[in-house]
Amino acid sequence: LRAQLLDRQARRESAARTYARTLPVAPVSAAGAEVTGADGRTYLDCLSGAGTLALGHNHPAVIAALHGALGSGAPLHTLDMITPQKDAFTTELLRRLPGDLRDDAVLHFCGPAGTDAVEAALKLARTTTGRTGVVAFTGAYHGMTLGAASVSGPLRMRGADGQGPAAAQPVTRLPYPYAYRCPFGVGGEQGAELSTRLLETYLTDPSSGMAPPAAVILEAVQGEGGVIPAPASWLRAVRRITAEHGVLLIIDEVQTGIGRTGRFWACEHADVTPDILVTSKAVGGGLPLALIAYRPDLDTWQPGDHTGTFRGNTLAMVAGEVTLRTVAEEQLAEHAEKTGARLRSALRELASRHPVIGDVRGRGLMIGVELVQPDADPDATGARPTHPHYARALQKACLDRGLMLELGGRDGSVLRLLPPLVLTDAQADTVLTRLADALTDVEP
Ligand code: PMP
């Protein structure tokens, strides 16, 4: 069955597919952090539907809520009309928002995908400020539609010269504070400080020749870019500088939100509140949902300015509401913080025995393991060259050992672990054992 499914898919689908190619599993059932394939093998899932499944697969509370909604006679789709399901979802989301946005934010449903919400955030920033430019950061990932791709890192489709088929928005790209591979060659806090100084100079120096941008967009922990947490001091400095210069701060919490990083939102680690917060993935409890939450004074859109047919699916709101509530009530952010810290410390221990691991980092259950060429010379800050070829081999060895994980980073040399927040201690141990075994299976 597995071979049949994979073969049929290979013949029917575009060659642009990725997961099907790197993870040749044909999942037929799943529960919690485990997925069973058509071949009968069970895998530990450190992918969680690219981070959508905060509560894991088929969480009983989510399934019960969905069954309840389906059997209730409630309409499945009501465009953006109010429904009891929408009211319950928005009430729950509003009370979980960070800082000044809590209870007061305006919510705008954007469509099924994170990239839809990024588009909306960029467009709202342009509408409100009357300006068009955006500052984004190297290595960022915000989505695949034209506006979102234009503020993402070196996507092949955007082109190194910014002239590729996916380039649209006028964007200035500044260095992200990537401590391990510091863009300034100094590392750590000092590198982060140089990054903010560059932003400040850019916004204040008329000789840069640039009109002030509408917004700065960032991830508090870069996900696809290689799981790179920004220092809290950097986030606070960016918040201060943007506020001083009337530039809107958009924080993309599509991957980091809903407890993933050990706080409900990653920006809360730094006590920073964006002007526009972007959320998707886990906010829909595994069903497609995306929205932006923003300061009431930015509510400048007129009816019809930003609409769409699939904005706010009833079932996604039902699954989302129960997910938000369960993450809060069961303190899953705290669990993610604790479990993530334990995993990172064990991975660092593993790194001391395997020099192919150059860096272990992350926040909560968003963990990155950067693979390097152990025999190559380190650069000025101690980082060795990346090892994308080995990363692919290791990803495959992990899959053979029953561990599904994804690659990311500037050239795909970072193992990314994004397990459900309900990962148990025993499962975390299994993740470590399988990864350690895989490391010995394949030689760097
Ligand atoms: N922003 C971030 C930070 C993401 O990680 C992603 C998806 N990985 C997106 C936006 C785009 O979301 P989607 O794939 O749902 O369009």
Q: Which CATH number fits the domain that encloses residue 337?
A: 3.90.1150.10
List 171's β-bridge partners, or say none: 134
**CA 11–ligand 1 middle distance (angstroms):** 27
Same domain, 203 and 341: no
Closest-lying ligand 1 atom to the alpha carbon of residue 222: 3
Q: Is residue 176 part of a domain?
A: yes
- For residue 130, give the 3-state DSSP assignment: coil
| pLDDT score recorded for residue 154 | 72
Domain holding 28, by residue range, is: 2-59+331-441
| pLDDT score recorded for residue 167 | 67
In the block, tokens 């060795």 appear at 384
CATH of the domain at 325: 3.40.640.10
Q: Which residues line ligand 1 (CB under 6 A)?
A: 50, 113-115, 118, 141-143, 219, 223-224, 252, 254-255, 280
Same domain, 344 and 319: no
- Single residue among 295, 329, 363 that ends a domain in this structure: 329
Cβ neighbours of 24 (radius 10 Å): 17
| pLDDT score recorded for residue 163 | 65
**272: closest CA among 228, 242, 306?**
242
Closest-lying ligand 1 atom to the alpha carbon of residue 140: 3
Name residues of the chain where pLDDT drops below 50. none
Q: Is residue 425 part of a domain?
A: yes
- Single residue among 301, 329, 357 that ends a domain in this structure: 329
Closest-lying ligand 1 atom to the alpha carbon of residue 252: 3
Same domain, 294 and 364: no
Same domain, 26 and 96: no
pTM, whole model, 2 decimals?
0.96
If one residue of 251, 255, 414 were mutated to test the ligand 1 pocket, choosing by the most ligand atoms within 8 A of its CB, it would be 255
Q: Is residue 66 part of a domain?
A: no
Same domain, 298 and 425: no
Q: Is residue 67 part of a domain?
A: no
- Structural domains in the chain (count): 2
Residues 422, 379 contacting (CB under 8 angstroms):
no
Question: Which residue has its alpha carbon closest to ligand 1 atom 12?
Answer: 114
Cβ neighbours of 70 (radius 10 Å): 13
Residues 27, 52 contacting (CB under 8 angstroms):
no
- Single residue among 270, 300, 329 that ends a domain in this structure: 329
| pLDDT score recorded for residue 223 | 97
Same domain, 122 and 48: no
Same domain, 205 and 301: yes
Closest-lying ligand 1 atom to the alpha carbon of residue 115: 16
Per-residue pLDDT tens digits for 189-201: 888 999 999 999 8
**179: closest CA among 136, 226, 218, 134?**
226
| pLDDT score recorded for residue 5 | 80
Same domain, 133 and 280: yes
Same domain, 310 and 355: no
